[in-house]
Amino acid sequence: MRNLLCAASLAALMTGMAHAATLIPVAPVPGAVTTNIYGINEDDIVVGSYTDAGGIEHGFFGPPDGSAYTSFDYGSTALGTEPRGIDKDGNIVGFSPDSSAAIGPEFLRKADGSFVAIEKDGVQLQG
């Protein structure tokens, strides 16, 4: 009975270990007031936004150590850019908060750096 109890305890412990998370440290964007991470892809490229000293949000992506962050902006809203996810190919989705809209227009930033508005029936979706 004691061996059975030990085996059951070991099995429960190993099941819990299978669901353990991994903490990935991410360097802040240089000069940023705040840095927010929203996604990471299979190649360990993070995507997120940072706020500059003027209170404007900018999108960025790159390796978590901050060695090669690339910053970008979508549209011309006064509030900024919020990328929310990145796929293995480097395509990024997000939205651009806008005080004149409910939330802001959604976008796809292709890996080549070009932008596409995300639309349904010819109307741009709001994030």
Could you read off the pLDDT of 91-108 as tens digits, one per residue? 999 999 877 767 888 999
Length of the chain: 127
DSSP calls for 72-85: E--TT-SSB-EEEE
CA-based nearest residue to 94, from 69, 65, 121, 73? 73
pLDDT over 90, % of the chain = 65
- pLDDT of 36 higher than 90: yes
What's the confidence (pLDDT) of residue 12?
A: 52
What's the confidence (pLDDT) of residue 124?
A: 83
Could you read off the pLDDT of 9-35 as tens digits, one per residue? 445 555 555 567 888 899 999 999 999
What's the confidence (pLDDT) of residue 8?
A: 47
What type of residue sits at position 35? Answer: T
What's the confidence (pLDDT) of residue 115?
A: 95
What's the confidence (pLDDT) of residue 127?
A: 73
In angstroms, the CA 60 to CA 65 distance is 13
Q: How far is CA 118 from CA 3, 34, 84, 114, 115, in A?
A: 59, 27, 14, 13, 9
What's the confidence (pLDDT) of residue 98?
A: 77
Could you read off the pLDDT of 49-64 as tens digits, one per residue? 999 999 999 999 999 9
Average pLDDT over residues 70-99: 89
Q: What is the dihedral of CA 20, 24, 25, 31, to 10 degrees?
A: -140
**CB of 101 closer than 8 Å to CB of 117:** no
